[in-house]
Structure 1
């Protein structure tokens, strides 16, 4: 049976305000305080009073999600505003952005805040709880998220005989951009060379410690509103042009297979570029979900920028920096920060910075189109959005 998918109407929404708090490896403040700080700063960045906000995409009702006891913190009460629209299905990154843009376009609400963050998560001598999902075929074997991605990457290196030094080179380039970005968790820790990456401890083959993303703390927020309202905001609006999502099956349950993960993103990018009316060759900056350095290369292959097995060479030849592909110009999840479920939201914020032309470091000159992505091969689901300078 064939399925006919109609082209959706254009999205009439734009991102008008952004903010990230100082990122850190350990922050001794309540998460709700950090998130409220990020929301206030994002609204100030947009020049919008909180009284205009009538939608929110965040863990509902409060920062830890649905908790019946005590359940005393909710965002409506904390912000002191009534809400017309609430999203808690995936309140971060691309899904939150697309849901907010769709809600605004359809008239369900006018202005949405997307926010999240975490703090006080670290347990001495143990991996963070959210890196070891309590799934029946995962936790019992002691598996955790880097190992799930490693299963896919191991097959790739075996089949194509890829050079591990090139993966290390990608990690070094992205981490070095984070080392010069104020507010990054690892600000001032670089620069890095491929040799530094490969000298770090092997965590799970083929990944060294410095080829894996952080597990850090902090908060992030952005504001989405209608195109009409965006015209009068304080900063240059960035329009939501298109997006797409793919889900293979529940992540971190059965071990992921390379053959089912390798092309994850191909369908999403085809739908997103058609929706946005652009070509993949038009993208100026790539804010990719870098759970690990190899996942960056895999995405360029799946998105159609190079052939299977050529991703590492493609990135190294073009360059990850702002004069090249402009990948994860804030340092990405590798060195700027990774806020658990809100990690993907950082990708939206950096895409907006690049398109506004006000990134404090590693600015891609003249950037007009940005790609932001979330999840990846080891997780067996993927999402992406295309944003453009309005």
Structure 2
């Protein structure tokens, strides 16, 4: 994995996030996010020659993700598209590689959902019609719960020590006016521990949201990013690890407990950074356990030592290692295909010094993470203010 010293995130855009967006569909929400990101970058659709984004319809291809349909709808001649995994960190890494190779100059990454969530207890995409999943009624939280249970048993960790993560991140969202859970706290450990159980050991407050909205970002050359007049946020390293197709065969802690460790090692080597150099973390907090696990994977502590690490380190705003400063997926928002991009957006805002009341003073390096053990893949991106 090589570094990308000449590539940057030049623009980011996020629509309003809500439990449901009335009168708006996914196409409209994604277009709004795209326009916001392009405005942020001082660009227009005519400047885009690469796209990575799942096509939501109507019309177009029946073969998903279908990034090329965006070019058709926008009337853009494209030099490059990504349908490999067109969201978040994988899309950013592929776009950076394509720009560095001269295949395109500016890539729009976009995703989200609107008008799709009903009144059900879980989002439909958490119960895919996959082999060994549809048959037995498994859902995403249960897949992660299998891994978390094994971890707790192996290392003798009390769940209360893990659920402290939810308290901190949800309180970040409580204080963030852009978060879906704004003003719903503050939370204490008793709130998290007494919440209705969903899939042991997870209670409702240990799990991420499922709501609507969209997010987008523009990846381009560092020189073009400097034209915005804003601080340049460079992509300096990253990596992915893929163990097995997500949500088909259940995950085993023995297989995926440290998934992402090799990707982190390669990202550090490419960037010249270490975990000690990171000022802020935007982890993929699909549940409380995943935050603890990722701290181990990223090298902040040894395997099985995440809860002990949290005894000594403050991950809140104003703490020694701020994590998920916007409230993360648990409290700010989780918008399906747009959720991974949200983690990058908050990292960019922190490094630009544009995070308002949640700003981490002097933040110059950040890490964004995606997916996790239950999904059986992990990816991360290292960003640095240029």
2:91 is the alignment partner of 1:103: no
Matched with 1:380 is: 376
The normalised TM-score by structure 2 is: 0.94
2:312 is the alignment partner of 1:317: yes
Matched with 2:15 is: 21
Structure 1 residues 64 and 263 mapped into 2: Cα distance closer, same or farther (>3 Å)? farther
The CA distance in 1 between the partners of 2:5 and 2:267, in whole Å, is 12
Matched with 1:205 is: 200
Q: Is the 8 A contact 2:46 2:76 kept in 1?
A: yes
Q: Is the 8 A contact 1:251 1:379 kept in 2?
A: yes
The CA distance in 2 between the partners of 1:183 and 1:91, in whole Å, is 25
The CA distance in 2 between the partners of 1:267 and 1:159, in whole Å, is 22
The CA distance in 2 between the partners of 1:78 and 1:92, in whole Å, is 19
The CA distance in 1 between the partners of 2:63 and 2:260, in whole Å, is 37
Where 1:326 maps in the other structure, the secondary structure is: coil
Superposition deviation, residue 164 in structure 1: 1.7
2:354 is the alignment partner of 1:354: no
Structure 1 residues 219 and 374 mapped into 2: Cα distance closer, same or farther (>3 Å)? same
Matched with 1:241 is: 236
Q: Is the 8 A contact 2:4 2:235 kept in 1?
A: no
Matched with 1:4 is: none
The CA distance in 1 between the partners of 2:273 and 2:171, in whole Å, is 31
Where 1:312 maps in the other structure, the secondary structure is: helix
Aligned length: 382
Unaligned runs of 5+ in 1: 1-6
2:141 to 146, 155, 165: 146
Where 1:104 maps in the other structure, the secondary structure is: helix
1:336 to 332, 338, 342: 332
Which aligned pairs between 1:223-372 and structure 2 lie closer than 5 A? 223-324=218-319, 325-372=321-368
User: Deviations for 1:334-363, whole angstroms, at most 9, x for unmatched residues?
Assistant: 011111122111111011011111112321
Unaligned runs of 5+ in 2: none
Q: Is the 8 A contact 2:27 2:56 kept in 1?
A: no
The CA distance in 2 between the partners of 1:264 and 1:64, in whole Å, is 38
2:216 to 210, 215, 221: 221
Matched with 1:8 is: 2
1:175 to 170, 173, 176: 170
Q: Is the 8 A contact 1:241 1:276 kept in 2?
A: yes
Matched with 1:93 is: 88
The CA distance in 2 between the partners of 1:49 and 1:60, in whole Å, is 20
The normalised TM-score by structure 1 is: 0.93
The CA distance in 1 between the partners of 2:240 and 2:76, in whole Å, is 32
Where 1:319 maps in the other structure, the secondary structure is: coil
The CA distance in 2 between the partners of 1:293 and 1:68, in whole Å, is 34
Superposition deviation, residue 220 in structure 1: 0.3
Superposition deviation, residue 53 in structure 1: 1.1
Structure 1 residues 162 and 75 mapped into 2: Cα distance closer, same or farther (>3 Å)? same
Q: Is the 8 A contact 2:30 2:111 kept in 1?
A: yes
Using the TM superposition, name which of 87-96 and 303-312 deviates more: 303-312
The CA distance in 2 between the partners of 1:302 and 1:236, in whole Å, is 30
The CA distance in 1 between the partners of 2:48 and 2:95, in whole Å, is 12
Superposition deviation, residue 172 in structure 1: 0.9
Superposition deviation, residue 67 in structure 1: 2.2
Structure 1 residues 180 and 66 mapped into 2: Cα distance closer, same or farther (>3 Å)? farther
Superposition deviation, residue 322 in structure 1: 2.6
Structure 1 residues 276 and 63 mapped into 2: Cα distance closer, same or farther (>3 Å)? farther
The CA distance in 2 between the partners of 1:55 and 1:156, in whole Å, is 41
Using the TM superposition, name which of 263-272 and 359-368 deviates more: 359-368
Where 1:361 maps in the other structure, the secondary structure is: helix
Where 2:374 maps in the other structure, the secondary structure is: helix
